[in-house]
Homo-oligomer: A and B are copies of this chain.
Amino acid sequence: MIVTVTPNPALDVTYAVDRVALGRSHRVREVREVAGGKGLNVAGVLTAMGREVMALGLVGAGGEAIAEDLAARGIRHSLGRVDGTVRRTVTVVSSGDGEATAFNEPGPRWTAQAADTLRALVTRTLGAVRPAVLVISGSVPPGMPVDGLSALVAIGRAHGCVVIVDAAREALAGVLGVGPDLVKPNHHELAEVVGTTDPVTGAARLRERGANQVVVSCGPRGLVLVDDGLAVRASLPDALRGNATGAGDAAVAALAAGLAEGRSGVQLLADAVAWSAASVLEPTAGIVDPAVVERLRATVVLTAEPATG
């Protein structure tokens, strides 16, 4: 069993319009709404890959639409409530050229009570379902306490979970001190925290600051895993064209499944590349086709080298 925590879930709304012209009014021809937020995407991919998973998070008013979408896709979840309105992301897609322009709301501002509610939800769930892996994933809501993610990592450790954190900026920097088992920044996020885009050098710095394993996602150039004395690089022979949104979440899903099932190193990373690439071929985040994962898995190119640090 894997549990994912999404502190700041979203309702991902897509508007189909004929053509976008700045400064004008547009009639929206079609509105689609799906559950969004990185931890929910991770849970979606794990569900699609036949793994047992439970998604946790806090949503504002209107969050029923998120719960309905998760239920329709067979994704087990337990969502708590936070004051304010559910966070939305609005992506406007022009039917002419398919160009997508996104507007991402910050989400409801947390009070101290929201942090208490999420900690209680996570504690209760970990006690009940005893997962092997806890994934904490996604953007941090406005007003979340600075130790908010660290407190969740500590709860996971206290319940014997392997803890994966996918966060950025201050949230990533702040969680390193409590020693998460694996962090997965992308190369931009890596540079923001340690000042270098080189994945091996940067990962070593994150490990010095407390992370155990580090996986850096480098877009079409694949993934780099750094742990004790080993740096593994994995990629596909050719870059895929498609929808990169959610590719990182699919990688995290594979890492969670691999750690829950005892894989490490080369095996772990090759799966993550295959799941991530399969997600690129889907029109929306949080979904993969297991047959595509299997086909891509056979093509993954791997190199391993000694790592310092």
Contacts and interface: CB of A to CB of B under 8 A. Distances in A.
Interface of A: 15, 17, 20-29, 31, 33, 61-62, 64-65, 85, 90, 92, 99-106
B62 A27 contact: no
20 contacts: A15-B90, A15-B105, A21-B101, A22-B99, A23-B99, A23-B101, A24-B101, A24-B102, A25-B102, A25-B103, A25-B104, A26-B103, A29-B106, A31-B85, A31-B105, A61-B64, A62-B62, A65-B85, A90-B90, A90-B103
A83 to B, nearest CB: 13
A81 B210 CA distance: 53
Contacts of A106: 27-29, 31
A35 B81 CA distance: 24
Contact of A26 (B33, B99, B104): B104
Contacts of A105: 15, 28, 31
A272 B31 CA distance: 36
A20 B17 contact: no
Given A85-B33, A90-B90, A100 B27 contact: no
A247 to B, nearest CB: 15
A22 B23 contact: no
A103 B103 CA distance: 12
Contacts of A22: 20, 22, 99, 101
Given A20-B22, A22-B20, A62-B62, A92 B85 contact: no
A243 to B, nearest CB: 13
Given A61-B64, A90-B90, A104 B27 contact: yes
Contacts of A102: 24-26
B23 A100 contact: yes
A143 to B, nearest CB: 15
A277 to B, nearest CB: 22
Nearest to A25: B102
B33 A103 contact: no
A10 B120 CA distance: 36
A15 B103 contact: yes
A151 B28 CA distance: 28
Contacts of A23: 99-101
Given A23-B99, A26-B104, 15 more contacts: A15-B90, A15-B105, A17-B103, A21-B101, A24-B101, A25-B102, A25-B103, A25-B104, A26-B103, A31-B106, A61-B62, A61-B64, A62-B62, A65-B85, A90-B90
Most B CB within 10 A of own CB, among A61, A103, A104: A103
Contacts of A27: 104, 106
Going nearest first, the 7 A-B pairs with the smallest beta carbon separation are A25-B102, A23-B99, A28-B105, A62-B62, A26-B103, A22-B101, A28-B103
A61 B86 CA distance: 13
A275 to B, nearest CB: 23
A65 B28 CA distance: 21
